[in-house]
C-alpha cells in the first residue's frame, strides 16, 4: 500500500507539470491490472446524450460539453457529486470511443497523460515563473516534489533547484509521451501482423482444400472450398489459376449433371403421370362397358320374363 501511495504521489507531481488537472489523475490512477467498471454502449450513450451509432466527432463534442459542465473545479459546492459524474462521463466516452483504449482497460501513466492532454486541447499549461514566487511558495513546491532543500541558503538557490526539478519533470513527461506513442505504434503493428497472419493462414487452408477437392474429384468439397477461398479473399493469381479452374469445372459439371438429373426426373414423373391417367381412363371405360352390358342383360331378362308371363296368360 505504501509503494502504491508513493507511486500515485509521483504521478500527481508529473501530471501537474503536464497540465493535467488533479481530478483527472484521480480518475484513472489505478494499480496495474485493475480496471474501472465496464459501461455498456447503451448506458454510455445515455450519459453523453448521444446515439450509439454517432461518429467520433459527435461523441467527442458531447464529451467536452459534459466534462466542462461537471468539472469538479467548476462545482466547488457539490464537488463529490461532480467528481462522480465527471468519472461517469469519462467512462462513457471511453466505452464509445472506437479509436481509444477499449472500455475497461486501465491506462498506464504515459497513456493517461497523452489521452487527457489531447482531450483538454492538446497543449500543456504554461509553467510558472519560479523567480516570481516567494520563498514559502518555493519551499512548498519543492516539498510537493519530495525534494530536500536543506542545503539552499538563498532564494536564488531555491529558484535554481525548483527550475532544475521542473525541467527534470518535463523531461520525464516527454519521455512518457514518447513511450506511449511507441507503445501505441507497437500495438497497432501487432494487430496488423496478427490480422495478416490470420488472413494468410485462412488463405493457405482454403488453398489446401481446393487442391484436395481437385485431387478427389469431389464437387461438393470443391464448392465449399471455393466459397472458403472467396471469404478469405484468396486471389489465385497465375500460379494457382489452373487449380481453381479445375475446381470450378468440377462444380460446373456437377451443376450440369444435377440439372440433367432434375430434367430426367421431371420427364419421368410426367410420363408416369401420363400412363397413370391413360390407365385410369381405360379402367373407367371398362367399368362403363360392364355397367352397360349388365344393364342390357337386365333389360333382356325383364323382356323375357314379360313375354313368358304374357304367353302363360294366353294359355
Task: Grade residue 68 by pLDDT with cuts at 50, 70 and 90.
Answer: confident
DSSP 191-212: HHHHHHHHHHHHHHHHHHHHHH
Please tell me the distance from the alpha carbon of residue 188 to that of residue 8, in angstroms, as a whole number.
28
Among the ranges given (7-21, 151-165, 278-292), the one the predictor scored with the smallest mean pLDDT: 7-21
Question: At how many degrees (to 10) do helices 41-48 and 79-96 cross?
Answer: 130
Give pTM, 2 decimals.
0.34
Map residue 284 onto helix, strand or coil: helix
Higher-pLDDT residue of 5, 241:
241
Task: Grade residue 120 by pLDDT with cuts at 50, 70 and 90.
Answer: very low
Task: Grade residue 245 by pLDDT with cuts at 50, 70 and 90.
Answer: confident
Residues composing the chain: 315
Please tell me the distance from the alpha carbon of residue 59 to that of residue 61, in angstroms, as a whole number.
6
Q: pLDDT value at position 238?
A: 62
Give residues with Cβ within 8 angstroms of 254, minimum separation 6.
219, 220, 222, 223
- What is the pLDDT averaged over residues 135-153? 83
| Among 116, 140, 143, 159, CA closest to 26 | 116
- Characterise 112 by phi-psi region: left (phi > 0), alpha (psi -120 to 50), beta (else): alpha
Residue labelled with grid coordinates 403421370: 273
Please tell me the distance from the alpha carbon of residue 72 to that of residue 147, in angstroms, as a whole number.
29
Could you report the per-residue pLDDT of 265-312, keeping only the tens digit for each? 999 999 999 999 999 999 999 999 999 999 999 999 999 988 888 888
Q: pLDDT value at position 21?
A: 47
Please tell me the distance from the alpha carbon of residue 138 to that of residue 163, in angstroms, as a whole number.
10
Give residues with Cβ within 8 angstroms of 15, minimum separation 6.
22, 24, 25, 112, 113
Is 103's pLDDT higher than 60?
no
Is 187's pLDDT higher than 90?
no
Q: pLDDT value at position 38?
A: 63
Is 75's pLDDT higher than 90?
no
Q: pLDDT value at position 61?
A: 85
Is 32's pLDDT higher than 50?
no
Q: pLDDT value at position 137?
A: 86
Burial-class residue 46 by CB neighbours within 10 Å (0-12, 13-18, 19+).
middle
Map residue 75 onto helix, strand or coil: coil
What backbone phi and psi angles, to 5 degrees, belong to 35? -145, 145
Q: pLDDT value at position 11?
A: 46
How many H helices and E strands in the chain?
10, 0
The CA R_g of the chain, rounded to the nearest whole Å, is 45
Share of the chain above pLDDT 90, in %: 14
Please tell me the distance from the alpha carbon of residue 5 to that of residue 29, in angstroms, as a whole number.
10
Measured from the Cβ of residue 31, the count of other Cβ atoms closer than 10 Å reads 10
Name the most confidently modeled range: 55-59, 167-171, 180-184, 269-273.
269-273
Q: pLDDT value at position 31?
A: 42
Amino acid at each position: 500500500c505504501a509503494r502504491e501511495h508513493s507511486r500515485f504521489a509521483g504521478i500527481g507531481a508529473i501530471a501537474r507539470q503536464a497540465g493535467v488537472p488533479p481530478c483527472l489523475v484521480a480518475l484513472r490512477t489505478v494499480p496495474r491490472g485493475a480496471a474501472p467498471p465496464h459501461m455498456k454502449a447503451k448506458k454510455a450513450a445515455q450519459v453523453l446524450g448521444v446515439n450509439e451509432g454517432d461518429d467520433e466527432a459527435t461523441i467527442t463534442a458531447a464529451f467536452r460539453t459534459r466534462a466542462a459542465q461537471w468539472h469538479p473545479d467548476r462545482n466547488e459546492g457539490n464537488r463529490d457529486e461532480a467528481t462522480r459524474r465527471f468519472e461517469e462521463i469519462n467512462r462513457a466516452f471511453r466505452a464509445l470511443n472506437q479509436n481509444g483504449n477499449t472500455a475497461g482497460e486501465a491506462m498506464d501513466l504515459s497513456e493517461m497523460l497523452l489521452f487527457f492532454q489531447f482531450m483538454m486541447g492538446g497543449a500543456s499549461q504554461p509553467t510558472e515563473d519560479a523567480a516570481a514566487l516567494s520563498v514559502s511558495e518555493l519551499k512548498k513546491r519543492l516539498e510537493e516534489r519530495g525534494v530536500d532543500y536543506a542545503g539552499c541558503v538563498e532564494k536564488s538557490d531555491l529558484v535554481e533547484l525548483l527550475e532544475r526539478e521542473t525541467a527534470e519533470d518535463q523531461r520525464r513527461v516527454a519521455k512518457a509521451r514518447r513511450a506511449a506513442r511507441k507503445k501505441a505504434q507497437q500495438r497497432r503493428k501487432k494487430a496488423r501482423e496478427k490480422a495478416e497472419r490470420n488472413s494468410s493462414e485462412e488463405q493457405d487452408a482454403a488453398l489446401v482444400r481446393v487442391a484436395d477437392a481437385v485431387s478427389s474429384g469431389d464437387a461438393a468439397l470443391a464448392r465449399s472450398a471455393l466459397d472458403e477461398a472467396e471469404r478469405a479473399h484468396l486471389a489465385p493469381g497465375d500460379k494457382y489459376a489452373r487449380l481453381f479452374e479445375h475446381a470450378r469445372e468440377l462444380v460446373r459439371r456437377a451443376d450440369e449433371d444435377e440439372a440433367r438429373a432434375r430434367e430426367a426426373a421431371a420427364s419421368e414423373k410426367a410420363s408416369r403421370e401420363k400412363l397413370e391417367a391413360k390407365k385410369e381412363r381405360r379402367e373407367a371405360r371398362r367399368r362403363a362397358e360392364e355397367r352397360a352390358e349388365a344393364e342390357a342383360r337386365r333389360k333382356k331378362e325383364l323382356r323375357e320374363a314379360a313375354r313368358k308371363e304374357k304367353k302363360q296368360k294366353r294359355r
